[in-house]
Structure 1
Amino acid sequence: MRSQVVLRYLPFAVLLAVAVTDLMAGRDLGFLPLLTLGPTFASVYGSVRRTAFVGVAALALCVPLAAYQGTLLTRQNNITIATVAGVTAASMIVSRLRLRRERELANVRLVAEAAQRVLLRPVPRRAADLRIALSYTSAAAEAQIGGDLYEVVTTPHGVRLLIGDVQGKGLTAVETAAWVLGAFREAAYDMSELTEVGERLEASLGRHLSAETFVTAILAEVHDEEISLLNFGHPAPLLIRGEGKIITVDPPEESLPLGLGALATDRPKPHRVAFGVGDQILLFTDGVIEARNRAGDFYPLTDRTGLLLAGEPQEALDALRADLIQHVGGPLPDDAAMLLLRRHLS
């Protein structure tokens, strides 16, 4: 907000600075050509009308300053006036093109965000004996919509969930997320084993996407006192015991992301970890742990999970999200999704 105020008044400050400098320098030195900086800076932020106004103000200053210097109506002054007028006209064109591009980017972003809202349905706040919380923070960088995805469904085989991150950004990433979510929502009900759900996703991506596209993901299935995790090259989730102990749930073996299964010799296998009453598990995308502050330090997620120990799951996750944004000190460079499951008594 402060930078916008600076850009708004910068052209007038430049004109004033040039005028004062020209008066203080006396009649031997002429700084009038520097008045062209006013409309030039105006085109960076202002509208076409505002840029024209700044140009007119520059021309209005040029006349009395030239009269003070004794150069009014001379060849040198006429060239200066023509230069200011020419730069003003060029700056107006630049301003018009900039505004058109900004509108186009805004429209693309609105379309992509609408598509994401359709794809990423609200997750249930309760499922069986689970309390579920979701945080999704979209990156605020032009139209760079990301491909983070998530889903929680209650099936005949238990509560199953998915969190993932599509390689790339923009509408292509949203399209890929649509294929993954569609395949998961169908396979989660049809397939009895979590491994079969993963194979269905791999087959779907292989049919519809190019070889260069891949998706890191975790599939999970909740059991009595346990949770199964099937990791496809995704950041390992954090398991938070009821007493506050934090465990990074790394897979027993590294595996390739979805979409690259043809390059792997073995398919990843689910692994189970204890998940009892009072325990929580936090699944997240790399936009969380790769977020940096101004000093270049990554967000220390493991050190901040204490925020998840108090209050309702959604309140606790909102507090963690606020801490993440405070760490970055501005818009996140990448989308960041977090899914928190807390086990309660049935």
Structure 2
Amino acid sequence: MIGASAVGGAFARGAHRLRVVTRVAPCLWVLGVICWELLTPHDTEVVPLLAAAPAIACASSGRRGYILLLGGASLLCALAPPTPLEPDGDVEEPHAGLVTCCAIFAVVVATYLGNGRRLRLIRELEQLRAVAAAAQDVVLRPLPARLEGIELAGGHLSASRGAVVGGDLYEALATPYGVRVIIGDVRGHGLPAIGTVAAVLGSFREAAHEEPRLTGVLRRLDRALERHLRARASGECPPDSPVDEEFVTVLLLEVGPDGEVTALNCGHPWPYRLHEQPVGPAIARQTDPGEVLPPLGLFPLPAEPPAAHWSALGAGDTLVLHTDGAEDARDAHGTFFPLRRALSEAAGPGPLVPTAVVEGVRSALLSHTGGRLADDVALVALRYDRCPLSAPTALTLPAADAGRN
């Protein structure tokens, strides 16, 4: 399995080598033209090729000082007197050197001005990315490291290049009724689904504290989604997909003080339960499925949505919630990602650490798919332990810019 630190180190080394190559390329071009001019007969004129050096410098390094330096060096080479290999110069075209100098000067001016505009666009793009990252963090904010005896870690991978948030959502809150967790998947993926994600998460963050029963939270989510879809249908908010095809799969969990778990499932994959092992990988089992309701947005909820009640979590037991993007991910040969095995290997022997589980599965998933995701992926790990094992920081995962990365 490839660790995140190893992947980051390899990426940094590759980026450094690329920067070195791009800085050296224009100098090698000038040197090659000079050698070609010195080693060819006097009737072969290759000095005008020096005019390409500033353009290469602009395309490679993008530094304006570097462009001026190479442009000046090219002008000096073009104005240099004839060499012993061509003592008579160019008789037929005595002004060839002046023409070459004018061409080089024109290229330098054009690349210098063009590079200035390029730098302004890069600065604007960086500002827009910073604003987008801040907005995305508000929608899908990092999970706290610990809530009432439960260690948490969450991560997300977006199928849209450069996006942090997509069609998957998750949140965990400490409420008077226990720790309540949601994970869901909006139809579609990437940036077009963010509006629905924001509507569902906003409703959950309010209802989780106000509704004494988990079924009440689910009804609030259903009404919030209905209002959001009506607003899109009436044109009050920008459309991103056909309203009549919109739905959201949702899994709601409530972990009581004694470790008892109550779950409501609307078309979402059931989570895995990891059991610590002193020797060898942890044992990963999918939770016993209860009755599954249709996804929100397709049909009205029943009068009394069926809730599943699981046996109480023991100290060290870990629940891993995921979206279907993890199980449905494939490699280049069409092989599905082995999520259960990846969970066991990421957990390893000994005490479970949620951040290690999420990061291990993330690395294995990126390695399996080569960084090319067909759907968004979200993971949430919850370790029940009244005695703190560690205090890891919340984990926020970036994009497969990946390939991204």
| TM-score range relative to shorter protein | 0.7 to 0.9
1:344 aligns to 2:402 (yes or no): no
1:241 paired residue number:
275
Q: CA deviation at 1:342?
A: 1.6
1:52 corresponds to which letter in structure 2? L
CA change 1:288–1:30 in 2 (3 A) is farther
Of 302, 313, 324, the residue aligned with 1:276 is 313
CA shift for structure 1 position 341: 0.9
**Where do 5+ consecutive residues of structure 2 fail to align?**
1-14, 233-238, 388-405
Q: Which residue does 1:308 correspond to in 2?
A: 347
In structure 2, the partner of 1:317 is 357
Per-residue deviation, 1:49: 3.1
Residues 1:7 and 1:276: Cα distance change in structure 2 (over 3 Å) = same
The SS at the match of 1:146 is coil
Identify the residue that residue 18 of structure 2 maps to in structure 1. Answer: 3
Paired AA for residue 20 in structure 1: C
Counterpart pick for 1:95 among 104, 115, 122: 115
SS at structure 2 position matched to 1:161: strand
Residue 336 of structure 1: CA displacement?
A: 6.0
Q: Secondary structure at the match of 2:313?
A: coil
| Aligned twin of 2:10 | none
Letter in 2 for 1:245: I
Q: Which residue in 1 is equivalent to 2:56?
A: 41
- Alignment-mate amino acid for residue 48 of structure 2: P
Query: Counterpart of 2:321 in 1: which secondary structure?
Result: strand
What amino acid is the match of 1:3?
A: L
CA contact (8 A) 1:229 1:272 kept: yes
Alpha-carbon spacing, 1:185–1:23, altered in 2? closer, same or farther (3 Å): same
Q: Deviations over 1:126-151 (max 9, x none)?
A: 444x4222144677998534245432
Q: Contact 2:150/2:386 (CA < 8 Å) preserved in 1?
A: no
Structure 1 residue 163 corresponds to structure 2 residue 201: no
Secondary structure at 1:162's aligned position in 2? strand
Of 29, 32, 40, the residue aligned with 1:25 is 40
Q: Which amino acid aligns with 1:308?
A: A
Q: Gaps (5+ residues) in structure 1? A: none
Read off the aligned partner of 1:123 and give its amino acid letter. Answer: L
Contact 2:33–2:47 (CA<8 Å) still a contact in 1? yes
**Separation in 2, partners of 1:326, 1:300:** 12
**How many pairs align?**
340
Q: Residues 107 and 231 of structure 1: is their aligned pair in 2 closer, same or farther, counting only changes over 3 Å?
A: farther
Distance 2:290 2:116 in 1: 53
> How far did 1:281 drift?
1.3
- Report the CA distance shift for 1:104/1:164 in structure 2 as closer, same or farther (over 3 A): farther
User: Structure 1 residue 184: deviation in Å?
Assistant: 0.6
Query: What residue in structure 2 maps to residue 146 of structure 1?
Result: 165
Q: Greater shift after overlay, 188-197 or 312-321? A: 312-321
Paired with 2:368 and 2:107, the residues of 1 have a C-alpha distance of 39
Contact 1:135/1:317 (CA < 8 Å) preserved in 2? no
Q: Deviations over 1:81-138 (max 9, x none)?
A: 333322322222332222122111211121122234445555344444x422214467
Contact residue 106 and residue 142 of structure 1 kept, 8 A: no
Partner residue, 1:183 = 203
2:124 is the counterpart of 1:104: yes
- How far has the Cα of 1:225 moved from its partner? 5.7
| Higher RCO, 1 vs 2 (CA within 8 Å, ≥6 residues apart) | 2
Q: 1:273-298 deviations in whole A, cap 9, x for unaligned? A: 44531421112456766888899987
Separation in 1, partners of 2:365, 2:90: 57
Q: Hey, what's the Cα distance between the residues in 2 that align with 1:137 and 1:9? A: 39
| Bigger Cα displacement from structure 2, 194-203 vs 205-214 | 205-214
Q: Which is further off, 94-103 or 305-314?
A: 305-314
Partner amino acid, structure 2, of 1:240: L
What one-letter code is carried by the residue in structure 1 that aligns with 2:385?
A: H
TM-score (norm 1): 0.75
Q: Secondary structure at the match of 1:182?
A: helix
| 1:42 to partner: Cα distance | 1.8
Pick closer, same or farther for the CA change 1:173–1:140 going to 2, 3 Å.
closer
Partner Cα distance (1:14, 1:141) in 2: 38
Asked whether the 8 Å contact 2:320–2:379 carries over to 1, the reply is yes
The TM-score with structure 2 as length reference comes to 0.66
- SS for the counterpart of 1:339 is strand
Kept in 2: contact 1:131–1:313 (CA 8 A): no
Contact 2:337 2:365 (C-alpha < 8 Å) held by counterparts:
no
Distance in 2, matches of 1:188 and 1:327, equals 37
Q: CA deviation at 1:195?
A: 3.9
Over 3 Å counting, the alpha-carbon distance change for 1:13 and 1:198 in structure 2 is farther
Cα distance, 1:308–1:55 mapped onto 2, change above 3 Å: same
Mark the CA change 1:246 to 1:66 in structure 2 (over 3 Å): closer, same or farther.
farther
Structure 1 residue matching 2:180: 3-state secondary structure: strand
Q: Deviations 1:282-330 (Å, cap 9, x if unpaired)?
A: 1245676688889998765432323224345245337526845983899
Paired residues of 1:299 and 1:327 also in contact (CA < 8 A)? no
Show the counterpart of 1:219. Answer: 252
The 1:276/1:325 distance shift into structure 2, 3 A limit, reads closer
